[in-house]
Structure 1
Amino acid sequence: MSTKYKFHEPTAIYFISFAVVGWIDVFTRTVYRDLLLESLSYCRKEKGLNLHAWIIMSNHVHLIISSKEGYLLPNIMRDLKKYSSYRILKEIRENTMESRKEWMLYLFSKAGQQNSNNKNFQFWRQDNHPIELDPHLNMFEERIDYLHNNPVEAGLVANAADYLYSSAIDYEGGKGLIDIDVLI
């Protein structure tokens, strides 16, 4: 079993990236982004998640996180991905206005059938790609800048703080959509 992308230090701060299976652009819809935000907020309040920075792009998420004392990041991530996938898949199934419903459910079902860890559907890719951030190497600032500049690089906004589904505005002195634990 590979140990390249694992949570090795339980008290460390990590940069994490994870994506929807097949890189499906689920988060082009506000309703699905909001469900993910609800899951992040819940994990922050109830599961011991310290959320330092975040961004939701059309098909992937970047987070800078750590855990509160007595909590384990692998467990938090497992619960976050499990619950958010359940809620988002339920919304896709029940959303009468979703024009891509059959196509997305087909792809999520196909991915689920190919993975013995799932019964029916797979929403998130298996990996989290956690990278431990060393505070002595300016890694926090580099990763926060990278994370917040994703929509700028994608041509979605001119300024990172203008992208609604990110914590960039929190680092500019404003108030974002969900509470975070600011690092710098």
Structure 2
Amino acid sequence: MPRQPRKPSSTGIFHVMMRGINHQEIFCDAEDYYQFINTLDRMRIQYDDDGLPSGTNFTLYAYCLMGNHCHLLIREREDNLAMAVKRISSSYVYYFNHKYFRDGHLFKERFKSEPVNDMAYFTTLLRYIHQNPVKAGIVEHVKDYEYSSWSEYDGSVDSVFQICNTQTVLNRIPFTELEAWVNEPLPEDVYCLDIEGSSRRRPSDDQIWKLIIEKTGVTNNSAFQQLDNNTKQQVFLELKDCGASLRQLERLTGIGKGVIHRIWNSGKL
């Protein structure tokens, strides 16, 4: 079946979600998160032949980086949407592959996007994007998450590190009002782009990793595989009780489904 063309945006603004291929992690440590933010900063600026800033490739209004995917609220400028995402992904993949001695694709080939045609949906997305870590159970409050653009809105990050056009939003919505909206959970019937869709009931990848980190202190699948058998058994049994699937755990931990299934059935590795 041929791909459906992307829906145009009357404002030039889109909500974009970039996902790791096969749902793999695209951020393995703090350096990766900050490298991606730096990539967003560098790719949004257009430079002339002398290397001086000469324009804007795209404008960012919000972002949130989440383990195996990220959300962007982005506006086309000199670049169309596809070119903007290509700039971002190509630069980051070059860094990631070099750091982890790997080759090939990192992001799912076709990123998800949806047009943002009015202010009402724009503000809904500001809430949705910044609430991702809260919804995933990583933090209790929006302001506590380190890898989103909310710190640019509340002023807790130095202005020199600002990469989002927050002033356009704050000129329309007083900060106190925006802060109240962002911290108020969205109704369950509000649906935005997501990895599995709004009807998903099993824990997210980020929730699984939060539990693994709490129980073991490890932050990637290689370190998890080096844990002693008793620790791995206990974690897998707890994740079963949380509703995780065999395929999901195999993908995240690198442990085969057969091994995990044996633990679930017998309690032993």
Q: Give the TM-score, by structure 1 length.
A: 0.76
Show the counterpart of 1:13. 13
How far apart, CA to CA, are the structure 1 residues paired with 2:162 and 2:111? 21
* Pairing 1:91–2:99 present: yes
1:18/1:61 contact within 8 Å kept:
yes
Q: Residues 10 and 141 of structure 1: is their aligned pair in 2 closer, same or farther, counting only changes over 3 Å? A: closer
1:54/1:61 contact within 8 Å kept:
yes
Q: CA deviation at 1:8?
A: 2.5
Pairwise CA RMSD of aligned residues?
2.0
How far apart, CA to CA, are the structure 2 residues paired with 1:148 and 1:22? 24
Show the counterpart of 1:134. 117
Q: Residues 143 and 175 of structure 1: is their aligned pair in 2 closer, same or farther, counting only changes over 3 Å? A: same
Show the counterpart of 1:74. 82
2:11/2:117 contact within 8 Å kept:
no
Q: CA deviation at 1:26?
A: 3.4
* Pairing 1:181–2:153 present: no
1:10-47: CA deviation from partner (whole Å, max 9, x where unpaired): 85100000111121223141121122112101112236
Q: 1:147 aligns with which of 102, 113, 129?
A: 129
1:50/1:181 contact within 8 Å kept:
yes
Q: CA deviation at 1:172?
A: 2.6
Moved more, 27-36 or 140-149: 27-36
Show the counterpart of 1:24. 24
Q: Give the TM-score, by structure 2 length.
A: 0.53
Larger radius of gyration: 2
1:35/1:84 contact within 8 Å kept:
yes
Show the counterpart of 1:38. 38
Secondary structure at 1:16's aligned position in 2? strand
Q: 2:63 aligns with which of 27, 34, 54?
A: 54
2:10/2:117 contact within 8 Å kept:
no
2:11/2:116 contact within 8 Å kept:
no
How far apart, CA to CA, are the structure 2 residues paired with 1:22 and 1:29? 19
After TM superposition, list the pairs within 5 Å mapping 1:81-120 onto structure 2. 81-93=89-101, 105=102, 120=103
Unpaired runs of at least 5, structure 1: 94-104, 106-119
1:7/1:73 contact within 8 Å kept:
no
How far apart, CA to CA, are the structure 2 residues paired with 1:51 and 1:145? 15
Show the counterpart of 1:111. none
How far apart, CA to CA, are the structure 1 residues paired with 2:57 and 2:11? 12
Looking at both structures, which has the greater relative contact order when contacts are Cα pairs under 8 Å and sequence separation is at least 6?
A: 1
1:103-157: CA deviation from partner (whole Å, max 9, x where unpaired): xx4xxxxxxxxxxxxxx51111012211001215x10111111110110011111
Amino acid across the alignment from 1:17: M
Q: CA deviation at 1:2?
A: 2.1
Q: Number of residue pairs matched?
A: 156
How far apart, CA to CA, are the structure 2 residues paired with 1:74 and 1:56? 19
2:14/2:75 contact within 8 Å kept:
yes
Secondary structure at 1:78's aligned position in 2? helix
Amino acid across the alignment from 1:171: Y
Unpaired runs of at least 5, structure 2: 47-55, 170-269
How far apart, CA to CA, are the structure 1 residues paired with 2:118 and 2:10? 15
